[in-house]
Each structure stands twice: as C-alpha cells, then as structure tokens.
Structure 1
Amino acid sequence: MEPVGSTLIATYAHLKPTPTNFLPAIGGITSSYRDRFPHYNVTHSLSLPWRPSTYYKVASNSPTLGPYCTRAQRVSESTMAPFVSNRTTLFTRYTLDDWYRSNLTNYQESSTSRHNSERLRVDTSRLIQDKYQQIRKTQVDSTQNLGERVNDIGFWKSEITHELDELIGETNAISDLKRRLERALIETEAPLQVTRECLFHREKRMGIDLVHDEAEKELLTEVDIILTCQERMKLHLDKAITQLTADRAVQHELEKDLSDKQAAHRIDDKCHHLRNTSEGIGFFRGVENVDATVSVPESWAKFTDDNILCSQSERAASSKLREDIENLLVVTANEMWNQFSRVNLAFTNRIAETADTKNKIQIHLSKTLQEIFQTEMTIESIKKAIREKSAFLKVAQTRLDERTRRPNIELCRDVAQLRLVNEVYEVNDTIQILQQRLKDAEDTLQSLVHTKATLEHELAVKANTLYIDQEKCMGMRKSFPNTLRLVGFC
C-alpha cells in the first residue's frame, strides 16, 4: 500500500474488460441496468445492514421457464413449434471445454472483481482518512491563522485605543486652553477701555496742566502694549482653532479605523470560534471566487500605523502650541501688569507733584491775600496822611494870604514870610510825594489782586487736575484685572 498522504493510483482503475457473453458488468447508473439487462431488477435490502444499498441486485428466473408451472407449460406447449425428432436438424452450440473455460473465466473474473473491490475499499478508507486529516489540518491552520489575525487586530485596536485616549486628552487640554485664551483676550478689553478713558479724562485738564507728562506717556505705552498683546493672543487663538480642527480630523480617522477594527475583530473572532458543529454554518457556493479584499497585510498595518503616526505628530504640534499659549498668557499678563504698575507709579508721582504745587500755590495765595490787606491799609494811611497834610497847607496858605493885606511898608519879606513860603512848598512837596506813593500803592494793590486771581485760577486748575488724576483715573484703575484673570483662569 502507498504511504498516507500520497496520491492514490488504484489498480482497479485499469480493469480488464469483462466479456458480455457470460456475466453482466456492474454499472453505477440504474438506467444502464434496465437498458442492458431487463431481466434484472434492483432491490434494496432493509433487513441486512451490512449489505450496501447500491449495486445490490437480486436475480430472478423468467416465469416462462418454470418447469413446474402447469399453466406456463400449457401456454408454452400451445405456443411452441412442434418438436422434430430428426437428429440431423439439431446442432451443438458449445463444447464441454467451452463450458469449463466459461466457468473458469467466471471464477477468475469474480476473484478479480472481489480483489479490486477489496482494494477499492481499502484505498477508499485510506483516502477518506487522509483527506480527513488533510482537511482537518487545513481547518486547524485556518483557525490558527484566524486566531493570529484576531490577535493582530486586537494589538492594533489597543494601539489605536491608547493613541485615541491620548489624542482626546490632548484635544480636551488644548480646547480648555483655547477657552482660557478667549477669556484672557476678553479680560484685556477692560484695561484697554480704562486706559483710553484715562486719556480721555486727562484731555479735560485746563491751562498749563494740559501737558504731555510722564503719566500720559505711560498711558499711551500701555495702550500699545495691550493692543500688541491682543494681536498676539488672536494669532495664537487662530492657531489653536486650526490645531483643534486638525486634532478632530485625526480623531475622526482613528475612531473610524477603530470602528472598522472592532467590526473586523468581531467577525474574525466569530469565524475563529466556528466549528463543524456550530450553528449558522451553511453552503455559500462560489464565495471562494469572490475577491472583495482591498488591502494586503502590509498595507493594512501601514494604514493604521500611518494614522497613529499622524495622530502622534498632531499631538506633538498641539502640545507645542499649548506650551506657546501658556508662555504667551504668562508673558502678556506680566507685561500688562508691569505697565499697569508703571502707569500707576507715574500717576502717583504726578499726583504728588500736583498736590505739592497746589499747596505751594495755596501758601502764595495766603501771603498774597495778606499782602493785599497790608497794601490796602497802607493806602488808607497814605490817604489819611494826605488829608492831614492838607490842613497844614491850608494854614500856611491862609497865613500867607492874610499877610498880603499888611499895609505899605509892613509888607516885609521877613523870616516869617520866608518860612511860610517854604512851608507851603514843603507841604506841597509832601502831598505830591504822598499822592505818588498812593498811586504806587494802588498799582501794587492792582498787581496783588491780579496775582491773587492768577493764583486762585491755578489753584482751581490744580484741583481739577488732582480730581482727574486721583479720583477719576486712579479710581478706575482699581478695577484692573488680577493675574489669574489675565491668564484666563477666572
């Protein structure tokens, strides 16, 4: 016998043709029996389980040849030709040797048929066992391959799940940071509005106080810094939105790939656990000729690996962008707070300087008022002195007028006359001097009054400036956001 697993070449496949003169050949098709041997009928044994139901035949004699059938004999005799006893009309069909050879041939053919049948049965049994082992081994290999495929899908599922979790965490982190950046950007509007209102209010300063001082310079610098910070925040906000879009696109690809992997894992796991006794198995003719595959193991693994690499790349870019945004929030908050402190310091210095000037003006105004009072007293004393000198002048002039009425020789230019004349000149000079002094005093008083008005105006200007800087500007700047709000935490 051939080894197990080898190709079987059965000798019964080359049988010697059986002569049709002696015994009929055993055929596999029922119709052939009926055509060639109508006197044979096919019956199936139901009582003998060891007999095969196929090819089992029972031969029967023709009822017309029964020697003991009287009715048949009568029919035969009535239909047969009359027997002729003449020996010369008969002839011999076969010889005795032919008869023996025919029997021997039948014996040999029977032995050969049995031997071939035995060989067929042995080879068929071995073929069945070999094919069973081969098909069983093939099924085991297919089951093992399906198990390996399930493990591969499970591995990539775990990789995708891990990467998807990391990507979702990164997406949530940058989304939270984006909201923080938006809140920080909104928080910068209040300081910008305060700074602009401070500049607007300081335009209401009057007179000489409407100067381009250090506080105004710092306010303008603060406006520029806040606008610059806003521009940088908007730029990074646009980058964050773009990065979020990219992250969500990669997340969608990973989720789609994971969904496909889960479906494939479920199908292959079901196939892996299918057995010959499983329910739901059936024939699907021609399915082996359908090739619906779109990838090979290399491209299949590369597709998922590319998705994971793309996700890792986007995660790295997202993490770098988050660091940049964090640094930006800290830097912008520090810049705005430092400038806020510089503006407040400039306001404090300017307020102190203005208050000091106001106090000095107040002191000068007090002294001016005192001097005005003294000057007014001086004017009154001068006027009083002039009034007093007028009496002296009247007396001297009255005396001189009376002495002009002296008669004749008595009109003497004596010492008294000279003294009276000198007295009149002296009193007139004194009055003129006093009147000039009165005029000077009145001019000085006018100057003092003008100075007083100027000082009072300046005092009002300084009071207005102090009110604007100290009450309005510094009052508004108390509402400047704290650091936590500037970095978007509140």
Structure 2
Amino acid sequence: MSQGGGATLPLGKLKVDDAHRTTLFTRYTPDDWYRSTLVSFQESNTSRHNSERLRVDTSRLIQDKYQQIRKTQVDTTQNLGERVNDIAFWKSEITHELDEMIGETNALTDLKRRLERALTETEAPLQEVDGILCCQERMRRHLDMAIAQLASDRAAQHELERDLSDKQTAFRIDDKCQHLRNTSEGVSYFRGVEKVDATVSVPESWAKFTDDNVLRSQSERAASAKMRDDIENLLIVTANEMWNQFNKILQEIFQTEMTIESIRKAIKEKSAFLKVAQTRLDERTRRPNIELCRDIAQLRLVNEVYEVDDTIQVLQQRLRDSEDTMQSLVHTKATLENELAIKANTLYIDQEKCMSMRKSYPNTLRLSHRKAHMEDTSICGQQPEAPLHRARAQLPATMLLLLLGILFLHVAVLVLLFVSTIVSVSAGGQG
C-alpha cells in the first residue's frame, strides 16, 4: 500500500497486470528471436562465403583469361615470326634467282651485240662470197631467236622483281606486327577489322606462286644459256668458214695469177703466128703483074690472119676478165684479212680484257671464298697468286694462230707468184 494519501495496489495485482501487458504486446518468443538470429547469421555467413568464392573464382578467371590471352598473343607472335622466316626464305630464293637472271640477261645481251656486229661486218663487204651466205642466214635466225629469248628473260625478271617487291613489303609489315607489344606506340582500336577478309591466297597457293616464278626463271635461264652456247658455236663456225674462204680465196688468187700468165703466154704465142701470117701476106703483095693471084694460099693466109686476130682479141678479153676477177679476189682477200683481224681482236678483248675485268670484280660469294683463301695462305706463310696479271701477260692462242696463218699464207702466195713469174720469163726467153 502506498502512502501520502494515494491509493496503493497490492503486489500480486501488479505482477498480474505486467504479465497481461507482456502477453498482449510481444509478437515473438525468445525461440523465435534465437532462430531469427541464427538464420540471419547463417545467411550472412553464406553470403560471405559466396562472395569470397566469387571473388576467388573471379580472380582465378582473370588470371586464367590473362594467361590464355597472353598465350594466344605469344602464339600469334610466334606465327608471325614463322611467317617472317618464310618470307625471308623466299626473298633469299628470289634474290638469288634474280641475280642469276640479271647476269644471264646481260651475258645474252652482250653476245647479241657481238652477233649483230659479226652480221654487220660480214653482210656488206662479203655478199659475193657464197660460202658465208649460209652462215649469215643462220646468224639472222639466231639473232631473232636471241631477241625473243631476251624478251622472255626480261618478262621472267619482271615477275621476280614484282614478287620480290611484294615480299619486301609483306616482310616489313609482318616484322612490325611481330614486334608490336601492349606498350608499343601506335596501338589502337580498329572496330570491325576482324570481320574484314581481304586475303587472296592460302599458304599453299602463296608458296606455289613464288615457286612457279622461280621455276619459270630457271627454265628461261637454261634456254638462254643454251642460246648463248648456240650463238658461240655459230660464231666459231662463221670464223672457221671465213678462214676456209680466206684459204680458198688465196688459192683462187694463185690459180687466177697462173691463168693470167697462161693467157699472156698464149697471146704472145698467137702474136708470133699473126706476125708470120701478116708477113707472108705483105711479101705476097710484092708479086709482079699477073702473079698477084687470089689463090687458095692467099685465101688461107687472109683467113689465118682473121682467125689469129680473133683469137688474140678473145684472149685479151679473157685477160681483162681475169684481171678484173683478180682485183675482186684481192679486194675480198683484204676484206677477209680485215675481218679475221677484227675477230682476233674481239677474241682478245673478250677473253683477256673483259674476262679479266669480270674476275677483278667478283661477287660476294667469290669475295668470301677469296678472303678465306687469302687468310689460309697468310697463315701458311704463302703469298696469294695473281692470275689476273698472268692472264694479261699472255696472248690468246687463237689470235696468234690466226696471225701466223695469215703471214704463212702471204709468204706462200708471194713465193708461188715469184716462181711462176720466173718460169714464164724463162719460157718466153727460150721462145
């Protein structure tokens, strides 16, 4: 009970009211609270575990994808490197074949010029020599064939040069792509570039294209080399034919000289017959009176004079023809001598001057071999030989043979002419 005039409630009554109030206003029991708290804890723990697992999986995914992309980039870089090596290999093949083709084209061009000079030299002054006409016709045919072969060589060379230019551009691009890194300058986005397919070949057709160009060039080079051999043989045959014609001309000159001497001797002999016949006629004109008879002897003497005179005229005409032929033969001989001298000089220039110059400027491979040889000889204490100076100090055997042959034939002709002149003079003195 309370004091101070206020009403007081009994203690039992107060406890009953609190219990009723709790019963009226509490929605969950302690068990509910515990279960709710436990569920919240479990959900929190599950969320934390899920988040942790997601975080770990995401980190692992990032690492895996990074490694995968990095491996893909490394493989792509390796593929680009292999592609660069393939391009470098075919570049080397094309460069080697192109150098060989350029050398072959230059060699055939030089030989074509020699053939043109030989045809020009033998065409104008030697048209009357029948033995060289066949060689001239063959030279014209080979000249046309050489021009056509040069066109084929240049076409193959052009294809090689174009292929080499494309290879150089592709090599530069792929080499740049191979060395691109994530930190390189110039790296940017190019949206949709992976959807553009501008390729026109596959590795098989790409390699076959270059291989076909190289094979075509090799085939044309082989044909060009055979053409050069044929032209060289033709020039040798022409030179031999000119030499044979020169010998025939010398022999014909000797025979013509003998014929001229025989004609002169015959004219001299016929002149004696003419003088006798004319002397007889002149003496018979002094017969007196009726003795000037036109008898058979008179008629025979007149006919004899006409016959001998006609014979002398024919022989003199034949002598003039023989002398004209002799002049033509001498002119042809001089022309052939000049041609043989030119051929000998050409051989000397080609074999000694040009070949020596080519040997003095070797290619890179020959330079490397020569350097290695010089190093070996220097190690052994020997001095390298000088083939260039020895070659320049020697005259070509062909030129010497030609000059000696010309001198020998000149001497033989002079001796024969001298002997024939002495014989004719002695025979005339005895007559």
- The two structures have a TM-score, normalised by structure 1, of 0.58
Matches for 1:103-118 after TM superposition, within 5 Å = 103-118=37-52
Which residue number corresponds to residue 182 of structure 1? 116
Q: Which has the higher contact order (CA 8 A, sep 6+)?
A: 1
Residue 217 of structure 2 aligns to a residue whose secondary structure is: helix
**Please, which of 85, 93, 101 is the counterpart of residue 159 of structure 1?**
93
Q: Distance in 1 between matches of 2:60 and 2:38?
A: 32
Rg: which structure is higher?
1
> Per-residue CA shift, 1:380-418, capped at 9, x if unaligned?
8x75xx6xxxxxxxxxxxxxxxxxxxxxxxxxxxxxxxx
Q: In structure 2, do the counterparts of structure 1 residues 438 and 259 end up closer, same or farther at CA, with 3 Å as the change threshold? A: closer
Looking at secondary structure, tell me which structure has more helix per residue. 2
Q: Distance in 1 between matches of 2:267 and 2:319?
A: 11
Q: Distance in 2 between matches of 1:149 and 1:484?
A: 59
Q: Distance in 2 between matches of 1:447 and 1:379?
A: 15
Matches for 1:12-51 after TM superposition, within 5 Å = none
Which residue number corresponds to residue 424 of structure 2? none
- Coordinate RMSD, CA, aligned: 3.5
Q: Distance in 2 between matches of 1:355 and 1:466?
A: 10
Opposite residue 249 of structure 1, the aligned amino acid is A
Q: Distance in 2 between matches of 1:322 and 1:108?
A: 98
Q: In structure 2, do the counterparts of structure 1 residues 272 and 488 end up closer, same or farther at CA, with 3 Å as the change threshold? A: farther
> Tell me, which stretches of 5 or more residues in structure 1 are unaligned?
1-86, 196-221, 387-430
Which residue number corresponds to residue 335 of structure 1? 241
Which residue number corresponds to residue 139 of structure 2? 233
Give the CA deviation at 1:270: 0.4
Q: Distance in 2 between matches of 1:188 and 1:366?
A: 47
Q: In structure 2, do the counterparts of structure 1 residues 238 and 441 end up closer, same or farther at CA, with 3 Å as the change threshold? A: closer
**Please, which of 124, 138, 152 is the counterpart of residue 246 of structure 1?**
152
Which residue number corresponds to residue 17 of structure 2? none
Residue 157 of structure 1 aligns to a residue whose secondary structure is: helix
The share of aligned pairs that are identical, in percent, is 59
Opposite residue 464 of structure 1, the aligned amino acid is R
Opposite residue 298 of structure 1, the aligned amino acid is E
Q: In structure 2, do the counterparts of structure 1 residues 310 and 487 end up closer, same or farther at CA, with 3 Å as the change threshold? A: farther
Which residue number corresponds to residue 323 of structure 2? 467
Opposite residue 119 of structure 1, the aligned amino acid is R
Q: Distance in 2 between matches of 1:452 and 1:292?
A: 103
Q: Distance in 1 between matches of 2:182 and 2:111?
A: 58
Q: In structure 2, do the counterparts of structure 1 residues 130 and 173 end up closer, same or farther at CA, with 3 Å as the change threshold? A: same
> Tell me, which stretches of 5 or more residues in structure 2 are unaligned?
1-20, 348-431
Q: In structure 2, do the counterparts of structure 1 residues 438 and 251 end up closer, same or farther at CA, with 3 Å as the change threshold? A: closer
Matches for 1:132-281 after TM superposition, within 5 Å = 132-193=66-127, 195=128, 222-223=129-130, 225-281=131-187
Opposite residue 164 of structure 1, the aligned amino acid is L
Which residue number corresponds to residue 204 of structure 2? 298
Q: Does 1:322 align with 2:179?
A: no
Q: In structure 2, do the counterparts of structure 1 residues 438 and 244 end up closer, same or farther at CA, with 3 Å as the change threshold? A: closer
* Number of residue pairs the alignment of both structures matches: 327
Give the CA deviation at 1:352: 1.7
- The two structures have a TM-score, normalised by structure 2, of 0.65
Q: In structure 2, do the counterparts of structure 1 residues 241 and 159 end up closer, same or farther at CA, with 3 Å as the change threshold? A: same
Which residue number corresponds to residue 36 of structure 1? none
Q: Distance in 2 between matches of 1:124 and 1:117?
A: 10
> Per-residue CA shift, 1:186-235, capped at 9, x if unaligned?
22322443x1xxxxxxxxxxxxxxxxxxxxxxxxxx43x43322332222
**Please, which of 339, 349, 352 is the counterpart of residue 482 of structure 1?**
339
Residue 124 of structure 2 aligns to a residue whose secondary structure is: helix
